[in-house]
Amino acid sequence: MKLNTLVRPLVLVAATAGAAAFAQTAAPAAPAAPAAPATQKAVIDRALLSVFKALPARFEDPKNPITPEKVELGRMLYFENRLSKNHDVSCNSCHDLNKYGVDNKPFSPGHKKQLGGRNSPTVYNAGGHILQFWDGRAPNLEEQAKGPILNPVEMAMPNEARVIETLKSIPGYVTAFQKAFPGEADAVTYNNLGLAIGAFERQLVTPSRFDKYLGGEETALNDAEKMGLKKFLEQGCQTCHNGAAIGGSLQKLGLVLPYQSKDQGRFDLTKNEADRMIFRVPTLRNVTKTAPYFHDGSVKDLQTAVKLMAQHQFGKQISDEDTKHIVTFLGALTGDLPKSYIAKPKLPASGPTTPKPDPT
């Protein structure tokens, strides 16, 4: 086991692995190692697990204390089609809470079925990300939530004023905002909308057997999953996929072998050369449920995604057998959906002045 590669800082991996890696990928793939029986016991050095964190019950942020009233409002807004121009798109259209927070499409249809240029990431456990969006352009969930409503290919509302006018025309929302933001003279604001949705999302967490295992429950993972975890650690996947979300920081895609994409990630936002191909590392929680993969939604199955990661990030071909082991481990990251928390609430009735759907 090459433990030294695990603790080697990323910069070193990048600097030293390059040439060798290209040579390796050019050579024919090494024959797969003889199949290890799934029952073979893997011994995990628990010290290596300290890069991960068990999921908290909720991702707290002192800037937006979670209250039941905010969560209740945030849940309504999350399912609210009237926050879109034609009253036919909500957050839940693209981030279906019953489908692990995704729609399983490469790109998601928004207003007039227009498609965006990036795959919809899951909203589950997104509170554990350091930044939001594939390029990290929103600092937190509260700011993120203000984006899609005004995005012309997503919910396509013309401006914040129109959103507020709509919400104020629905008496049930005026009451709900007042309850969620008590003491505010004008509680129905665009900022408060972001705070309410953020508070709701901060509890979209899906604890899994892996969390029990991290907590010391040795039998929470079976032998095949432990073998997969061992392979995952040996490869060094945890240098980027770590923390409570098992992802969530900004890293380069194509560290060793360049990844072909028109989308240059954070560079497109900052025009800073150092940000070229920097993307927010996706969470690996529930990853067996969130296909297709990558920012471009181009990869349909998890085996291929794992193999591509090894090639592009490490310049390595990993055997089919090891890939299978890793995918088995990734399956143990699937948690239970919080069924009652995500049940669609009854939405308040429109008032006489509520704007009508606009299909244009």
Sites of contact with ligand HEC (CB under 6 A): 89, 91, 93-95, 108, 110, 116, 118, 120-121, 123, 126, 129, 132-134, 141, 144-145, 148-149, 154-155, 197, 232, 235-237, 239-241, 251, 253, 255, 279-282, 287, 290, 293-295, 302, 305-306, 309-310, 313, 326
Which two three-digit tokens encode residue 324?
A: 């299978």
Which two three-digit tokens encode residue 138?
A: 């929103």
Which two three-digit tokens encode residue 87?
A: 């009253």
Smallest distance from ligand HEC to CB 185, Å: 25
- Shorter beta-carbon distance to ligand HEC: residue 202 or 209: 202
d(CA 310, CA 67): 42
Catalytic residues: 154
Give me the residue label for tokens 């089609």: 81
Closest CA to 287 of 317, 255, 332: 332
Smallest distance from ligand HEC to CB 289, Å: 10
Contact 93, 107 (CB under 8 A): no
Closest CA to 100 of 243, 205, 225: 205
Strand 278-280 relative to strand 250-252, pairing: antiparallel
- Shorter beta-carbon distance to ligand HEC: residue 141 or 170: 141
Q: How many CB atoms lie within 10 A of CB 246?
A: 27
- Shorter beta-carbon distance to ligand HEC: residue 208 or 251: 251
Q: How many CB atoms lie within 10 A of CB 81?
A: 16
- Shorter beta-carbon distance to ligand HEC: residue 154 or 225: 154
